[in-house]
Amino acid sequence: MSWPLNFWLTDFEVQVRVGRWVVRRVAFSDIREASVATGLRVPLWNEHWCNFWPLRYVVLQRRSGWIATFIINPPDPEEFLADLARRASLPRDG
C-alpha cells in the first residue's frame, strides 16, 4: 500500500515528500533530540506530517521555531530513528 506522505533522510536533513515533491524539511543541525512515541502519547503542541496509519511516530524536538515539536510516522520508526541518529550524530531517547 502506498501512503501520501513519505519520509526521507538526506545527508543534511529530514524530508517530508508527497510523491517526488519535498513539502517540508528539517535540517539535522536544527534537531535537538529524537524519540519514538505511540498512539496519543505525543506532545499537544506540534507540527505533524503523518499518514493515517500506523500510529507510531518519530518525534523530533527542534532547536528553533515557534512550534518546536515535529512529528512524522515512517513505516518503521525505530529503523528511521536509528538511521537518523547515525547520520545526524544525535543522542537517542527511547
Per residue, the 3-state secondary structure of 46-65, as one string, reads CEEECCCCCCEEEEEEECCC
| This prediction's pTM | 0.86
The per-residue pLDDT for 3 is 73
Cell of 62: 527542534
The per-residue pLDDT for 13 is 97
Mean pLDDT of the chain: 88
Q: Is the pLDDT confidence value at 14 over 90?
A: yes
CATH among 2.30.29.30, 3.20.20.210, 3.40.1640.10, 1.20.1250.20 for 5-93:
2.30.29.30
The per-residue pLDDT for 45 is 83
Q: What is the mean pLDDT of residues 2-27?
A: 93
**Which sequence spans correspond to the domains of the chain?**
5-93
Percent of the chain scored above 90 by pLDDT? 65
